[in-house]
Amino acid sequence: MELYHGNIVYSKSDTELAVHKDSWIAVDDDVVEGIYPVIPEKFAGIPVVDHGDDLIIPAFTDLHVHAPQYPQRGLAMDTLLYEWLNKYTFPLEEKYADPEFAHAVYDAFVDDLVEHGTLHAVIFGTIHTEATGYLIEKLETLGLRAYVGKVNMDTDSPEKLCENTQESLLETEEFINRYLDNRTARVILTPRFAPTCSWELLTGLGKLAEKYNMGVQTHLVESLWEAQESVKRYPDCGSDTGIYEKAGLLGHGPFIGAHFIYPAEDDIRVMKKYGGFAVQCPEATTNVIAGIMSTAALADRGIRLGLGSDIAGGHNLAIYTQISKAVQFSKIKTFYEPEVNRPITFEKAFYMGTKESGALFGKTGSLEPGYAFDALVIHGMSDPYQKLTPSQEAERFCYFGETKHIRARYLGGRKIG
């Protein structure tokens, strides 16, 4: 048992933040036991960590990030998806055939993820099993909660990334088997997106999903080009999202669809039916995708939502920044399409980046009793000339906070970073 003191803020729901000013959070066996305004007598003699006036908030969850694209963040940002993929991103991903290159980048990527307070993530690797294996092993060693995918792509891809279908399936099954016993960093099936996946590949992955109870991550209706291309390729599937349903990939584990900007009614039907997460990646969608998710409208339809950095379509690993951008972009979207959109609140966006998406990893993303103590200590958000509430400080952190403001990071009660 340990006690941590500070101003504690977390999401109760998508409309309400819980605020415990000047309080003590008791952590028992990595899990929050309770929050107290004064130290209860029963805890006399328990070790205490005093974070003074600093904020204690839940660690963030990144539901969509490409580890191999880390070296490319902030580059070629004046292109759009098709050109960005073919001219810049695919050539970079080819380099992960070289384990030495992969290890150096993945070491830096994981360090920076932790630096930004992202302690849970759903991650794309590349087609390369050795390199992606290094990434998942590193995350597992650190105890970070993650889903990691070896990418599958076997059509309409550059030669060095275009897999042989049977080899792709065999390597994926081997990859699954190698990490079946992992505790925190687990495998997820990762067909890149419909335009680069054959039907044989998708249905083969569907069989693996069923055999191993595996979830799936992919890109869904992310641009008008991608949405049209997918439906043209698989016209019998009803929608881009329907492709994964028909291939037998859904219903066996988590389902994560990045972007979800141009959903047809059938995309929404499938997403709801399987409890999938639609991931808004605000910076990526303004960089290379050029579209904005209808966040409030999707929430109204009962779609589960989360936030992603989508490095390196996005340029910034900070999920706290994606939280503020989600609020900003919901207003821009409403300005242009007032009939079907409305702004979201800070409470909703914070919930998306913590409790809503954290649910993918069990009880994470909140600091209520029973949740893992995966938490960040935030310093430096107060003013000398006005008194801010802890929730105002949390909001401010999401607008102009930086890694230097994260004073400490706890993963299941253990200090890391």
- Could you list the residues that contact Fe ion (CB under 5 A)? 258, 310
What part of residues 310-329 is at the interface with ligand GUN (CB under 6 A)?
Answer: 310, 313
Return the residue nearest Fe ion (CB atom). 310
**Could you give the CA distance from residue 387 to residue 385 in angstroms, rounded to a whole number?**
7
Among 219, 252, 348, 355, binds ligand GUN (CB under 6 A): 219
Pick left, alpha or beta for residue 248 (phi over 0 → left; psi -120 to 50 → alpha; otherwise beta).
Answer: left
Q: Is the peptide bond between 312 and the residue preceding it cis, with omega within 30 degrees of 0?
A: yes
Rounded-to-integer distance, Cα 220 and Cα 64, Å = 12
121 forms beta bridges with: 62, 146
In the DSSP assignment, the letter for residue 389 is P
Other beta carbons within 10 Å of 310: 31
Q: Minimum Å distance from CB 256 to Fe ion? A: 11
Applying CB under 6 A, among 20, 66, 252, 333 the residue interacting with ligand GUN is 66
Q: Does 284 bind ligand GUN (CB under 6 A)?
A: yes
Comparing CA positions, the residue from 283, 318, 287 lying closest to residue 81 is 287
Q: What does 133 bind: Fe ion, ligand GUN, none (CB cut-off 5 to 8 Å by kind)?
A: none
To ligand GUN, the closest distance from the beta carbon of 267 in angstroms equals: 16
Q: Which is nearer to ligand GUN, 88 or 397 (CB)?
A: 88
Q: Give the one entry of Fe ion, ligand GUN, none that residue 89 binds, where binding means its C-beta sits below a cut-off of 5 to 8 angstroms depending on kind.
A: ligand GUN
Per DSSP, the three-state class of 332 is helix
Give 63 or 411: the residue with its C-beta nearer to ligand GUN: 63
Which CB atom, from 125 or from 413, has the smaller least distance to Fe ion? 125
The answer to whether 152 touches 201, Cβ cutoff 8 Å, is: yes
Smallest gap from Cβ 69 to ligand GUN, in A, equals 6
The footprint of ligand GUN on residues 193-212 (CB under 6 A) is 193
Q: How far is the CB of 89 from ligand GUN (least distance, A)?
A: 5
47: exposed, middle or buried (Cβ count in 10 Å: 0-12, 13-18, 19+): exposed
CB of residue 193 vs Fe ion: minimum separation in angstroms? 8
Whole-number Å distance between alpha carbons of 409 and 374: 8
Are residues 384 and 366 in contact, defined by beta-carbon separation less than 8 angstroms?
no
102 binds, among Fe ion, ligand GUN, none (CB under 5 to 8 A by kind): none
Give the residue from 139, 92, 74 showing the smallest Cα distance to 111: 139
Pairwise CA distance, residues 142 & 204, whole Å: 32
Nearer to Fe ion by Cβ, of 308 and 413: the residue is 308
Name the minimum Å distance from CB 173 to Fe ion.
24
For 22-97, where are the alpha helices, taking DSSP H only? Answer: 81-83, 90-94
222 makes contact with ligand GUN (CB under 6 A): yes
Tokens describing residue 247: 């291939």
Residues 121-180 that bind ligand GUN (CB under 6 A): none
Checking 170-174 for CB contacts under 8 A at 24+ apart, the result is 171/129, 172/205, 172/208, 173/208, 174/129
How many residues line the site for ligand GUN (CB under 6 A)? 10
Q: Of 58 and 313, which has the nearer Cβ to Fe ion?
A: 313
Least spacing, CB of residue 1 vs Fe ion, in Å? 41
Q: How far is the CB of 351 from Fe ion (least distance, A)?
A: 22
Q: Which long-range contacts (CB under 8 A, 24 or more apart) does 38-46 make?
A: 39/3, 43/1, 43/3, 46/1, 46/2, 46/3
Q: Is 192 in the site for ligand GUN (CB under 6 A)?
A: yes
Rounded Cα–Cα distance for residues 380 and 215 (Å): 40
Count other C-beta atoms under 10 Å from residue 158's C-beta.
14
Binding characters for ligand GUN, 225-264, by CB under 6 A (x = yes): ----------------------------------------
User: Which of ligand GUN, Fe ion, none binds 193 (CB below 5-8 Å, type-dependent)?
Assistant: ligand GUN
Question: Least distance from C-beta 84 to ligand GUN, angstroms?
Answer: 8
How far apart CA 150 and CA 136 sit, in angstroms, is 10
Rounded CA-CA distance 122/309 in Å is: 11
CB closer to Fe ion, 58 vs 306: 306
Question: Least distance from C-beta 40 to ligand GUN, angstroms?
Answer: 49
Residues that bind ligand GUN (CB under 6 A): 66, 85, 89, 192-193, 219, 222, 284, 310, 313
